A and B are shown apart, each in its own frame.
Chain A
Amino acid sequence: MNMHAQPQRTLAETALIDAFGERLSLLPGDGAVMVKRDDAIEAIKHGLPTRRVESWHYTDLRRLLTSVPAFEAEVVAKALDPVLDGSAVLPVLNGVSNAKLPEIEGVTVQRLSEKLTDGSVAPGLDPYGADDAIGALNTAFVADGYFVDIADGTELEKPIELQNLQSGGQAHVRLLTRVGAGAKAIIVERQAGEASEGSDALISSVSQLVLDEGAEVTWLIVQEQPDTATHLAQFKAQVGKDAKLTLFVMNAGGKLVRQEVVVRTTGEGADFKLRGINLLAGDTHTDTTMVLDHTVPHTTSTEVMRNVVTGKARGVFQGRINVHQYAQKTNAKMACNTLLLSDDGEFSTKPELEIFADDVVCGHGATVTEIDHDHLFYLMARGIDEKTARGLLVKAFVAEVIEELDDEGIVEALEARLDGWFLTHG
């Protein structure tokens, strides 16, 4: 990690390093996997990233991660009903994927612990950069998760829901998915848990997705952790030739949350869409960081983030679009809009463009503002009281992004979750 030598380890750093020593014998993996784990813990020994590390500028993990809970949770989490009706559910409960594997035509599902033991996933365990603290943490400790392979040409009728549920303690989970050429799928990544008394949770979750030629995937991340959870997540994807990936991220919980999105377009005609909403309340810190690499010509991407900040919440959005030298005809647009609803809330945004090709159309826009008084007036002039009017406007602001997903079932299910959040936090 590109981290400065730290004079002294923090409690959290020490706890992680000690835990690694204790857990090592319990962690699955062949020689190759173990080498990766050792490298990863070495990176952590150099210290967790501080705000001096550019990609962690607004989330000083070293300062914010004050304590690390013990590994074992006292309560065992239970699988939840899926977000989308009829989904095949693959649960990881307290870091373990011990449920019965469902049979889906054209889909191969394996437990990740098996893939770690036989070493076949070792090459994918490397962190993506020197400042990839989440990748390093996960590689060091990952014990389970799923490997899902959707065969070429398979069009899934029903969605798959990957659930990572945690009730206190630590869990380090990896969800690997390959979507074959021409295949179509809707996949939900559910990140949730129950607050168990006296035990905070530390979760690292890395999802890796590969889209082969012409594959189409809608991936929904629904994060509703309790406010005792530190949730460090990463979504990494490669979008192949003519493949389409729509990623939706909803952050509506957690105490300290960092969701990284690392996407690379690897084939001409690839298209990536990111739609995200951050619903921030209480005294929480939520960071969404995206790094998007356009590496080949003729690829497109659009990213829209909508954030609502209430209470003492702090929100961060960092989005970087890298257009490589040969990625001519790239078309990339990014927008990040924030409604800051309380004086104690904060939102920081850093939308970056790094462009090395000359025939491209790239743009980004970012706004931070309060509710438009004209809009409020319009509604109140029609006899709607202020509180309701505000609620309507805020909901419309975020719901707009959901509606863009263009699938009735998904839109209804996500709006229901949105309503749920507004009921408790509105």
Chain B
Amino acid sequence: MPAVQETIDRVRKIDVDQYKYGFQTEIEMDKAPKGLSEDIIRLISEKKGEPDWMLEWRLGAFRRWLTLEEPTWARVRYPKIDFQDIHYYAAPKSTPGPTSLSEVDPELLKVYEKLGIPLKEQEILAGVQKTEESELEEANDNVYKSGRVAVDAVFDSVSVVTTFKKELAQAGVIFCSISEAIREHPELVQKYLGSVVPTTDNFYATLNSAVFTDGSFVFVPKGVRCPMELSTYFRINEKNTGQFERTLIIAEEGAYVSYLEGCTAPQRDENQLHAAVVELIALDDAEIKYSTVQNWYPGDAEGKGGVYNFVTKRGDCRGDRSKISWTQVETGSAITWKYPSCILRGDDSSGEFYSIAVSNGYQQVDSGTKMIHLGQNTSSRIISKGIAAGFSQNTYRGQVSAHRKAANARNFTNCDSLLIGDQCGAHTVPYMEAKNSTAQFEHEATTSKISEDQKFYVMQRGIPEEEAIALIVNGFVKDVIQQLPMEFAVEAQKLIGISLEGSVG
């Protein structure tokens, strides 16, 4: 559409040149030498104090990776990545497992404060320092109205701190870094790790399996509704490092958990690699809600630098009546290659995918989802909104399939695109595959300017044109914003920069 000035201005505010998380922090780091080999993997495994089975698992993945070729089917272009020119392990020196915030490097805490993730204040709110509680509570009242959030902060390759652990433990919820989980809860990790995204899955997932350094682990036992939102904040700081995190979330029978993920990185001329794997497992009647606000450094106005975001995210609705919901707001990264998917294995299970992808500058986004219907009476819903500006390319790529036995599979897909400027591109590539006659699939996609009728309707009610257009644009992304937890919705709104008054709450 020929964008309204207001929309253009607001999208420009998130222009690549104005990336506000682009600072870099000088922290003494412990790094593995550049390059990738079995020795490096042994080193990572040793640094993490991992058991033998884990090392074998990693080596198996690495050997497999050597046989794989980089995928080229996505609509993204980038120079060949030299996988030997990356540090596969970088950790702040002071982190041999801090048990409380006081042991965390204050520089690190400052980083998170700058990012708007006040680890300390949250701990205080939880009652660690009772004296300041009332004062702070007031100050934060607006922000934390909907409840507290437990945070796992991942800095380059390691998790530096996880808050609210004790309170969660009381509810029976395990929330810790994956390295800790491998040490403390090996039986759970061994049972579930790689069961959704096997080590052989794809080029980047296999690479991740070999070299992943940290990430979050969540286990919500049978019947427990996780008492607070869980959150991980990922930060790439060190130069020439790759971040390979691994997240594993398990919700047992009847459990519920909502998990948030945020990401940023400093401004650099070089491209940085981020290849994460996220696995979700929902057993009978369980529900997992996974929200992402991805704001990795997108590169500068000429398209120099930025993070390559090659992520494999997959949820397995293993149990009957289980539900997995993905919500993502993608504004960062030079390249995004990401398809959070749901395997609807259990009968009556359901999957959801809500996405807003904003691209500007020379960003390239190729994102979407897969909904694989295997069980009976499964349903899925996909809402994707792409906004392309500048010289960017924004692609929705999705697959919906119903297998022979997936009786009564039901899908609704809606993907809309908005183009701002004539140098960018918006693309829609949906795949629909039905092998069961009782399946019902609907797909619709549009790319359009705001219709005169819509505008007339609003203006006819006495609303001036500019506001009318703003309202209609608000409506464009509303479906997705509504799915985000409160805190993220606020952040997402800022990121997208298009006013969405009254649509959240």
Chain A residues at the B interface, C-beta cutoff of 8 Å:
54, 57, 325, 328, 338, 340-343, 345-370
Q: Which of B1, B437, B446 contacts A363 (CB 8 A)?
A: B446
**Bound complex: CA A365 to CA B432 (Å):** 11
**Bound complex: CA A354 to CA B449 (Å):** 16
In the complex, chain A residues whose CB is within 8 Å of the CB of B421: 358
Asked whether B436 is an interface residue with its Cβ less than 8 Å from the other chain, the reply is yes
Our count of residue pairs bridging A and B at CB distance below 8 angstroms stands at 119
**Bound complex: CA A358 to CA B422 (Å):** 5
- Given that A343-B404, A358-B421, A363-B445 are contacting pairs, would A352 and B440 also be in contact in the complex, using a CB cutoff of 8 Å? no
- Given that A343-B404, A348-B434, A350-B430 are contacting pairs, would A367 and B441 also be in contact in the complex, using a CB cutoff of 8 Å? yes
Q: Smallest distance from the beta carbon of B363 to chain A beta carbons, Å?
A: 16
Asked whether B443 is an interface residue with its Cβ less than 8 Å from the other chain, the reply is yes
Nearest A residue to B409 via CB reads A368
In the complex, chain B residues whose CB is within 8 Å of the CB of A340: 434, 436-437, 439
In the complex, chain A residues whose CB is within 8 Å of the CB of B420: 358
A369 touches B432 (CB 8 A): no
In the complex, chain B residues whose CB is within 8 Å of the CB of A345: 435, 437
- Given that A346-B434, A358-B420 are contacting pairs, would A353 and B1 also be in contact in the complex, using a CB cutoff of 8 Å? no
Describe A's contact surface by its main secondary structure.
strand
- Given that A346-B433, A347-B434 are contacting pairs, would A359 and B440 also be in contact in the complex, using a CB cutoff of 8 Å? no
B446 touches A362 (CB 8 A): yes
Asked whether B73 is an interface residue with its Cβ less than 8 Å from the other chain, the reply is yes
B441 touches A351 (CB 8 A): no
Q: Smallest distance from the beta carbon of B400 to chain A beta carbons, Å?
A: 9
Given contacts A328-B422, A365-B443, A367-B441, 17 further A-B contacts (CB under 8 A): A57-B431, A325-B423, A340-B434, A345-B435, A349-B432, A351-B428, A352-B427, A353-B426, A358-B2, A358-B421, A361-B449, A364-B428, A365-B444, A365-B445, A366-B430, A368-B434, A370-B438
Q: Smallest distance from the beta carbon of A311 to chain B beta carbons, Å?
A: 11
Q: Smallest distance from the beta carbon of B144 to chain A beta carbons, Å?
A: 40
A360 touches B449 (CB 8 A): yes
Q: Smallest distance from the beta carbon of A301 to chain B beta carbons, Å?
A: 14
A350 touches B448 (CB 8 A): no
**Bound complex: CA A236 to CA B419 (Å):** 30
Chain B residues at the A interface, C-beta cutoff of 8 Å:
1-3, 73, 404, 417, 419-449
**Bound complex: CA A343 to CA B403 (Å):** 10
**Bound complex: CA A340 to CA B441 (Å):** 11
Q: Which of B426, B430, B441 contacts A355 (CB 8 A)?
A: B426
- Given that A342-B437, A343-B404, A346-B434 are contacting pairs, would A359 and B443 also be in contact in the complex, using a CB cutoff of 8 Å? no
**Bound complex: CA A337 to CA B126 (Å):** 55
Q: Which of B428, B433, B437, B444 contacts A370 (CB 8 A)?
A: B437
B1 touches A368 (CB 8 A): no
Q: Which of B423, B430, B448 contacts A351 (CB 8 A)?
A: B430
**Bound complex: CA A342 to CA B439 (Å):** 11
In the complex, chain A residues whose CB is within 8 Å of the CB of B437: 340-343, 345, 370
A355 touches B1 (CB 8 A): no
B427 touches A359 (CB 8 A): no
**Bound complex: CA A338 to CA B441 (Å):** 10
Nearest B residue to A341 via CB reads B437
In the complex, chain B residues whose CB is within 8 Å of the CB of A325: 422-423
Residue among B432, B437, B446 with the highest chain A CB neighbour number at 10 A:
B437
B429 touches A350 (CB 8 A): yes
In the complex, chain A residues whose CB is within 8 Å of the CB of B419: 355, 357-358, 360
A359 touches B445 (CB 8 A): no
A353 touches B431 (CB 8 A): no
In the complex, chain B residues whose CB is within 8 Å of the CB of A362: 446-448
**Bound complex: CA A79 to CA B134 (Å):** 93
Q: Which of A54, A343, A354, A357 contacts B422 (CB 8 A)?
A: A357
In the complex, chain A residues whose CB is within 8 Å of the CB of B436: 340, 343
27 residue pairs A–B, Cβ–Cβ below 8 Å: A328-B422, A340-B434, A340-B436, A341-B437, A346-B434, A348-B431, A348-B433, A348-B434, A351-B428, A351-B445, A353-B428, A353-B445, A355-B417, A355-B419, A355-B426, A355-B447, A357-B422, A358-B3, A358-B449, A362-B448, A366-B441, A366-B442, A367-B440, A367-B441, A367-B443, A368-B441, A370-B437
Nearest B residue to A343 via CB reads B437
Nearest A residue to B421 via CB reads A358
Nearest A residue to B428 via CB reads A353
B449 touches A356 (CB 8 A): no
In the complex, chain A residues whose CB is within 8 Å of the CB of B3: 358
A356 touches B445 (CB 8 A): no
Nearest B residue to A310 via CB reads B437
Residue among B73, B420, B424, B435 with the highest chain A CB neighbour number at 10 A:
B435
**Bound complex: CA A393 to CA B187 (Å):** 56
Residue among A349, A353, A367 with the highest chain B CB neighbour number at 10 A:
A353
Nearest B residue to A315 via CB reads B434
B2 touches A363 (CB 8 A): no
The 10 closest A-B pairs by CB, nearest first: A358-B419, A363-B446, A366-B443, A368-B434, A353-B428, A368-B441, A348-B433, A365-B444, A340-B437, A362-B447
In the complex, chain A residues whose CB is within 8 Å of the CB of B73: 54
Q: Smallest distance from the beta carbon of A373 to chain B beta carbons, Å?
A: 11
A360 touches B440 (CB 8 A): no
Nearest A residue to B396 via CB reads A353
B444 touches A354 (CB 8 A): no
Q: Which of A338, A355, A365 contacts B434 (CB 8 A)?
A: A338
In the complex, chain B residues whose CB is within 8 Å of the CB of A355: 417, 419, 425-427, 447
In the complex, chain A residues whose CB is within 8 Å of the CB of B447: 353, 355, 360-363
**Bound complex: CA A349 to CA B420 (Å):** 29
In the complex, chain A residues whose CB is within 8 Å of the CB of B445: 351, 353, 363-365
B427 touches A353 (CB 8 A): yes
**Bound complex: CA A351 to CA B400 (Å):** 13
In the complex, chain B residues whose CB is within 8 Å of the CB of A356: 422, 424-425
**Bound complex: CA A395 to CA B441 (Å):** 21
A354 touches B425 (CB 8 A): yes
Q: Smallest distance from the beta carbon of A322 to chain B beta carbons, Å?
A: 9
Q: Which of B2, B423, B435, B439 contacts A359 (CB 8 A)?
A: B2
Q: Smallest distance from the beta carbon of A330 to chain B beta carbons, Å?
A: 10
**Bound complex: CA A363 to CA B421 (Å):** 19
A368 touches B2 (CB 8 A): no
Q: Smallest distance from the beta carbon of A375 to chain B beta carbons, Å?
A: 14
In the complex, chain B residues whose CB is within 8 Å of the CB of A367: 440-443
**Bound complex: CA A345 to CA B62 (Å):** 40
In the complex, chain A residues whose CB is within 8 Å of the CB of B432: 347-350, 366, 368
In the complex, chain B residues whose CB is within 8 Å of the CB of A54: 73
In the complex, chain B residues whose CB is within 8 Å of the CB of A349: 431-432, 443
Q: Smallest distance from the beta carbon of A304 to chain B beta carbons, Å?
A: 14
- Given that A353-B426, A369-B439, A369-B440 are contacting pairs, would A359 and B1 also be in contact in the complex, using a CB cutoff of 8 Å? yes
**Bound complex: CA A352 to CA B437 (Å):** 24
**Bound complex: CA A379 to CA B421 (Å):** 52
**Bound complex: CA A54 to CA B447 (Å):** 23
**Bound complex: CA A52 to CA B357 (Å):** 27
B427 touches A354 (CB 8 A): yes
In the complex, chain B residues whose CB is within 8 Å of the CB of A342: 437
In the complex, chain A residues whose CB is within 8 Å of the CB of B444: 363-366
In the complex, chain A residues whose CB is within 8 Å of the CB of B449: 358-361
**Bound complex: CA A26 to CA B447 (Å):** 51
Q: Smallest distance from the beta carbon of A162 to chain B beta carbons, Å?
A: 34
Q: Smallest distance from the beta carbon of B117 to chain A beta carbons, Å?
A: 36
**Bound complex: CA A368 to CA B402 (Å):** 11
**Bound complex: CA A365 to CA B442 (Å):** 7
**Bound complex: CA A348 to CA B400 (Å):** 10
Q: Smallest distance from the beta carbon of A149 to chain B beta carbons, Å?
A: 38
Q: Smallest distance from the beta carbon of B421 to chain A beta carbons, Å?
A: 6
**Bound complex: CA A271 to CA B62 (Å):** 54
Residue among B73, B432, B438 with the highest chain A CB neighbour number at 10 A:
B432
In the complex, chain A residues whose CB is within 8 Å of the CB of B417: 353, 355
**Bound complex: CA A338 to CA B421 (Å):** 36
Q: Smallest distance from the beta carbon of A293 to chain B beta carbons, Å?
A: 14
**Bound complex: CA A352 to CA B446 (Å):** 11
Q: Smallest distance from the beta carbon of A31 to chain B beta carbons, Å?
A: 37
